[in-house]
């Protein structure tokens, strides 16, 4: 009998070792707020992860668990510039939590830039989706000509590891993919980002490598828009044309470039609340988070207002998620490092007002 137990123990240990060898390694990285030594009192909420730098959190519930798909910030020693070269990220880690206040598990490296056949550099803000038994990780990375494109990688597990497709998504460009799946099962990708995200360099489907580093529109012209495309049934490409995400005033006028506090800059997200489509985003070089509501996932969207004031740090990037009938915003700031490119992800509650606006969140007290 003892021999049998020993044999079972040996087989189990061998299995654990071999599984560990073929999967990304998993470890609990925080019970939230542990490991912080500096004064934390001025911040609305505390970092979810403190042992590596994380940013741009896209959160989803898969199989009853919360999964976070963030960027993995590193200090590559590259000086700051308007191209965003200092954001030189090289891989993704995926995190999970059983509940909003629960412990945070790091599932290890899920995808590396070196394993993406067409990639050059800079793995920026990702998102994930699930369809027909497969998880899809969508990511922006510069190709070998230094042009941002969107890629997709597949896995049978929400925590990866993910395997990248051989080529970028046809017709994709710029950064910050956010994939929303509607109640009818149709998915849409929202994307785009100005300055380092290169959106201003694209005109009529053509990339201008000598184009402006910053906003290229005239101040009195309609602002550059985020983009939206319907996803193909296999989730690997776009089905139809890429369209502008139109954000209009209550009078139906497109927001203008000079309207820095309201116009789009980067960091799109989409969620559905009480049958309405909420397009949320970071505003033109002022970095408020703003919301706009539409009756269709393709828009147009009527501007509703700011719902989060700027965080500490130059960038603002978020996702919005319902967990057990309550709504939350995942976001980042630079609490731990106080450096633009070394950020940490956070979560706090989000409240929808009856008039369609979202209650203002003050990330710094
Ligand atoms: O993380 C790199 C870039 O910074 C993201 O793509 C933007 O949304 C901003 O957060």
Q: Is residue 62 situated within a structural domain?
A: yes
pLDDT at residue 80 tops 60 = yes
> How many angstroms is it from 55 CA to the middle of ligand 1?
8
Domain that holds residue 132: 27-350
- Phi, psi at 114, each rounded to 5°: -70, -20
Catalytic residue from among 251, 266, 349, 355: 266
Which pTM does this prediction carry? 0.92
The pLDDT, as a whole number, for residue 216 is: 81
Q: Is residue 340 situated within a structural domain?
A: yes
| 4-25 pLDDT, tens digit each | 333 333 333 333 333 333 457 7
| 117-142 pLDDT, tens digit each | 999 999 999 999 999 999 999 999 99
The pLDDT, as a whole number, for residue 75 is: 97
94-104: average pLDDT: 97
For CA atoms 106, 41, 80, 211, the dihedral sign is: positive
**Got the DSSP string for 146-180?**
S-EEEEEEEESSTT---EE-SSPPTT--SS--EEE
What domain count does the chain have?
A: 1
Q: Is residue 13 situated within a structural domain?
A: no
Return the residue whose CA atom lies nearest to atom 9 of ligand 1.
315
pLDDT at residue 166 tops 80 = yes
The share of the chain scoring above pLDDT 70, in percent, equals 91
d(CA 47, CA 126): 19
**Which residues lie across from 361 on neighbouring strands?**
308
d(CA 267, CA 71): 12
Q: Which ligand 1 atom sits nearest the alpha carbon of residue 140?
A: 6
The pLDDT, as a whole number, for residue 3 is: 34
The pLDDT, as a whole number, for residue 26 is: 80
Return the residue whose CA atom lies nearest to atom 5 of ligand 1.
125
The pLDDT, as a whole number, for residue 132 is: 96
Q: How confident is the model at residue 247 (pLDDT cuts 50, 70, 90)?
A: very high
CATH number of the domain where residue 129 is located: 2.115.10.20
| Number of CB atoms found within 10 A of residue 55's CB | 24
**Got the DSSP string for 212-248?**
-SS--S-TTSBPP--EEEEBPTTSSSBSS--EE--EE
Catalytic residue from among 56, 106, 259, 333: 56
d(CA 267, CA 245): 13
- Phi, psi at 34, each rounded to 5°: -70, 150
Work out the angle at residue 20's Cα, subtended by the Cα atoms of residues 14 and 21, and round it to the nearest 5 degrees: 90
The share of the chain scoring above pLDDT 90, in percent, equals 85
Q: Is residue 82 situated within a structural domain?
A: yes
The pLDDT, as a whole number, for residue 28 is: 79
pLDDT at residue 149 tops 80 = yes
106 among known catalytic residues = no
47-64: average pLDDT: 98
The pLDDT, as a whole number, for residue 15 is: 34
Q: Is residue 265 situated within a structural domain?
A: yes
The pLDDT, as a whole number, for residue 54 is: 98
pLDDT at residue 333 tops 60 = yes
* Residue pair 245/279 in contact by the 8 Å Cβ criterion: yes
165 among known catalytic residues = no
Q: Kindly report which listed range (9-18, 203-212, 215-224) carries the lowest average pLDDT score.
A: 9-18
Q: How confident is the model at residue 163 (pLDDT cuts 50, 70, 90)?
A: very high
66-72: average pLDDT: 98
The pLDDT, as a whole number, for residue 326 is: 98
> How many angstroms is it from 56 CA to the middle of ligand 1?
6
Q: Are strands 148-155 and 163-164 parallel, antiparallel or unpaired?
A: antiparallel
200-219: average pLDDT: 89
Q: Are strands 247-248 and 27-30 parallel, antiparallel or unpaired?
A: unpaired
| Protein residues with CB under 6 Å of any ligand 1 atom | 55-56, 71, 87, 124-125, 175-176, 193, 266-267, 315, 317
| 265-284 pLDDT, tens digit each | 999 999 999 999 999 999 99
> How many angstroms is it from 73 CA to the middle of ligand 1?
10
Q: How confident is the model at residue 199 (pLDDT cuts 50, 70, 90)?
A: very high
Pocket test for ligand 1, best of 193, 310, 343 (most atoms within 8 A of CB): 193
Residues 6+ apart with CB under 8 A from 365: 41, 42, 43, 44
List C-alpha distances in Å: 253 to 3, 63, 247, 263, 283: 79, 42, 8, 12, 17
Pocket test for ligand 1, best of 91, 175, 310, 340 (most atoms within 8 A of CB): 175
End-to-end CA distance of the chain: 63
What tokens does 80 get? 């700051």
pLDDT at residue 1 tops 60 = no
Residue whose C-alpha is closest to residue 265's, from 197, 320, 212, 327: 197
Of 19 and 208, more confident: 208
Residue 199: alpha-carbon gap to chain centroid: 17
| 172-194 pLDDT, tens digit each | 999 999 999 999 999 999 999 99
Q: Which ligand 1 atom sits nearest the alpha carbon of residue 71?
A: 1
Q: Is residue 12 situated within a structural domain?
A: no
List C-alpha distances in Å: 162 to 63, 120, 124, 175, 181: 18, 18, 16, 19, 20
Return the residue whose CA atom lies nearest to atom 2 of ligand 1.
124
pLDDT at residue 31 tops 60 = no
DSSP summary character for residue 5 = H
294-315: average pLDDT: 98
When the pLDDT of each residue in the chain is averaged and rounded to a whole number, the result is 92
CA torsion angle 210 213 214 215 (round to 10): 20
Return the residue whose CA atom lies nearest to atom 8 of ligand 1.
267
Whether cis (ω within 30° of 0) applies to the bond prior to 161 is yes
Q: Is residue 94 situated within a structural domain?
A: yes
> How many angstroms is it from 19 CA to the middle of ligand 1?
34
Q: Is residue 293 situated within a structural domain?
A: yes
| Number of CB atoms found within 10 A of residue 65's CB | 15
* Residue pair 328/351 in contact by the 8 Å Cβ criterion: no
> How many angstroms is it from 130 CA to the middle of ligand 1?
23
């Amino acid at each position: 009998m003892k021999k049998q137990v020993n044999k079972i123990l040996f087989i189990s240990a061998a299995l654990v070792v071999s599984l560990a060898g073929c999967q990304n390694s998993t470890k609990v990285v925080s019970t939230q707020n542990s490991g912080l030594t500096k004064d934390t009192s001025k911040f609305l909420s505390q970092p979810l992860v403190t042992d590596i730098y994380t940013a741009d959190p896209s959160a989803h519930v898969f199989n009853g668990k919360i999964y976070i798909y963030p960027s993995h910030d590193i200090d590559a020693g590259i000086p700051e510039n308007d191209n965003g070269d200092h954001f030189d990220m090289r891989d993704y880690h995926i995190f999970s939590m059983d509940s909003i206040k629960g412990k945070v598990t790091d599932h290890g490296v899920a995808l590396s830039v070196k394993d993406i056949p067409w990639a050059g550099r800079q793995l920026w803000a990702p998102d994930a989706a699930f369809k027909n038994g497969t998880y899809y990780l969508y990511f922006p990375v510069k190709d070998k000509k230094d042009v941002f494109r969107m890629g997709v990688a597949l896995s049978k597990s929400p925590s990866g590891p993910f395997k990248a497709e051989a080529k970028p998504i046809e017709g994709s460009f710029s950064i910050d993919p956010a994939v929303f799946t509607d109640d009818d099962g149709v998915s849409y990708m929202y994307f785009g980002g100005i300055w380092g995200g290169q959106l201003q360099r694209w005109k009529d489907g053509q990339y201008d490598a000598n184009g402006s580093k910053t906003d290229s529109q005239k101040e009195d012209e309609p602002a550059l828009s985020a983009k939206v495309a319907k996803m193909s049934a296999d989730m690997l490409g776009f089905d139809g044309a890429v369209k502008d995400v139109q954000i209009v005033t209550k009078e139906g006028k497109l927001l203008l470039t000079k309207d820095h506090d309201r116009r789009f800059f980067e960091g799109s997200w989409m969620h559905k609340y009480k049958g309405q489509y909420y397009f949320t985003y970071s505003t033109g070089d002022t970095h408020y988070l703003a919301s706009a509501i539409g009756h269709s996932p393709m828009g147009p969207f009527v501007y509703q207002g700011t719902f989060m004031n700027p965080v500490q740090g130059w960038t603002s990037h978020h996702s919005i998620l319902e967990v057990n009938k309550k709504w939350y915003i995942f976001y980042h700031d630079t609490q731990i490092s106080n450096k633009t490119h070394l950020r940490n992800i956070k979560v706090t509650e989000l409240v929808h007002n009856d008039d369609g606006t979202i209650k203002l969140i003050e990330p710094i007290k």
